Each structure stands twice: as structure tokens, then as C-alpha cells.
Amino acid sequence: MDSNFLVVAIDGGAGTGKSTTASLLSKRLNFLHVDTGSHYRSVTKHLLDNEINLKMLDSYFDQNNILLTSKVDENRSHLAINGLVYASDLLRTAKINQAVSNCASNPKVRQLLLRYQREQIYVARSENKSGLVMEGRDIGTVIYPDADLKVFLVADQKVRESRRIKDGEVDQIASRDQLDSSRSIAPLKESGGSLRIDTSLLSVEEVYVTISKSLGFS
Ligand code: DC
């Protein structure tokens, strides 16, 4: 990859601190922040709103043109489905939390988003960013296996649950992680060569320092 432009892949289970970390990195280092969990949440919301269940999904995708575009707001890239960006509170409801893992295990959904996610590098460059930080479950293993830095975040179950409660969310993170780690396509798993960080007892600042040092910033 171009040495002047850095790609950082951050993977990990729910509540491990991916978004907080990616957000701080993007602000400090002028990177584009792409939260791929929000992509799966947006597709889930789109399907629920259109009353499409998983059995109808293949024919729905064959018969309907789903246009995916990006809207950049400061350091963040947001997915627009047929021109519509869903507000983040609409994507973090108990209903979406409950449905998103099943939707994300569908091959057509993953195929649709894979190309879109790989193209985010061009979005970042066109926005004159110094790099791209993409977070999710399969960024280091599938989307950007040759990223300049791959980070795998972990944290104690209790800490992760308390983070969700603090955010006011109803989220069964253990069952979501189980589904995300055991699916056949692009399961959540640590990519070889990842920097593994346990965020249970670390502040976001400490996580940031560890990552920025690995990127060569002091
Ligand atoms: O990061 P998150 O909790 O917002 O992600 C929501 C769901 O999306 C997660 O349970 C699994 C799925 N997901 C995925 O399968 N692959 C990704 N790269 C990101 C998220």
C-alpha cells in the first residue's frame, strides 16, 4: 500500500471499544472513519422497513437495484442506501441489535457491502485524508488483509456489557458475538499479524497511544 496513506483495520466483538478508538484516531490523524457495523445495521433497517425477511432476500436483491453511496461528515463516512442515511439512534435499537447478526451472515448482504467497503479507500483519498480507519469483524481478515496495521480489540464480558448499559442500549452482546464468530462467511476472528489490545482496563487515550506508536507516531 502507498506509504503516505495509511490503512488501519480494527476488529473485535461488540463493546470492545472499536468505535471510540476509531473515532479518536480519525480525528487526531485526519483519517476517514468507516464503521462497517453501521453498514450492516443500515441494510437490516432497510430490509425491516421494506418488510423483507431473510427468505425473501435473494429475490429482493435480484429484482431491486440497491444503490450504495457515501456521505462524508467531517471524519466519518456514512452509508446511504438509495440516497438515505439512517440516523444513528435508528440503527441502535433493540430490534436492530437483535436482527443484525442474522442479516450479516447472508452471503448476498456481505457481497453487496464488500465492494462498497473496499471502495472507501477512494472516498478517503478524494477527501484528502491521510488514511482510513475501518472497524468491524472481518476488516483484517477479508476487507483489507494487507492493511498497514491490523488491530484486534478484546475486553472482559462484564466490561463490555456495562459499556452498552452506559450507552442506554439493549444488546445481547454474547449471543451476537457467538453468531458473528460461528458463521461460515467472514466470521469474527483475529487476523494473523494483528496488534491485540485488551481494552478492559485501558482509557481510550491509552489505546490511542498504543496504536499511534505502532503506526510510527510518537
Ligand atoms: O459493530 P456493530 O456491533 O455495530 O456491528 C453490528 C453487527 O454487524 C455485528 O453484530 C455483526 C455485523 N458486522 C459484520 O458482520 N461484519 C462487520 N465487518 C461489521 C459488523
Q: Any idea what the CATH number is for the domain that residue 85 is in?
A: 3.40.50.300
The reported pLDDT for the residue numbered 129 is: 98
pLDDT > 60? residue 183: yes
1 belongs to a structural domain: no
Evaluate whether residue 210 is within a structural domain. yes
In a domain, 180, yes or no: yes
27 is a domain residue: yes
Strand partners, 152: 11, 196
Counting ligand 1 atoms within 8 A of each CB, the residue from 11, 23, 137 with the most, and so the one to mutate, is 137
Q: pLDDT band at residue 167, thresholds of 50, 70 and 90?
A: confident
Ligand 1 is surrounded, with C-beta below 6 A, by 14, 36-37, 40-41, 100-101, 104, 136-139, 176, 180
**How would you list the strands of the sheet with 68-73, edge to edge?**
68-73, 76-81, 31-35, 131-136, 6-12, 149-154, 195-198
Element (H, E) at 34: strand 31-35
Residue with the smallest CA separation from ligand 1 atom 10 is 101
Count: domains in the chain? 1
Q: Which atom of ligand 1 is nearest to the CA of 35?
A: 1
Task: Name the residue at shortest CA distance from atom 4 of ligand 1.
Answer: 37
pLDDT band, residue 4 (cuts 50/70/90): confident
- Specify the ligand 1 atom closest to the Cα of 117: 18
> Ligand 1: which of 36, 106, 133, 163 to mutate, judged by most atoms within 8 Å of the beta carbon?
36
Atom of ligand 1 nearest to the CA of 180: 11
Expressed in angstroms and rounded, the spacing between residue 218 Cα and the centre of ligand 1 is 31
Atom of ligand 1 minimally distant from the CA of 100? 7
With respect to residue 181, please indicate whether it lies within any of the assigned structural domains: yes
Ligand 1 centroid from CA 145, angstroms = 17
pLDDT bracket for residue 3 (50, 70, 90):
low
Question: What residues make up the domain containing 84?
Answer: 6-214
Distance of CA 205 to the CA centre of its chain: 20
In the chain, what percentage of residues exceed pLDDT 90?
92
pTM: 0.96
Q: pLDDT tens across 200-213, in order?
A: 999 999 999 999 99
* Predicted pLDDT at 2: 55
Note whether residue 148 is domain-resident. Answer: yes
**pLDDT exceeds 90 at position 12:** yes
Residue 156 has pLDDT above 80, yes or no: yes
Q: What is the pLDDT of residues 106-146, one digit of tens each?
A: 999 999 999 999 999 999 999 999 999 999 999 999 999 99
Radius of gyration of the chain (CA): 17
Length of the chain: 218
37 CA distance to ligand 1 middle (Å): 4
Distance CA 20, CA 211 (A): 13
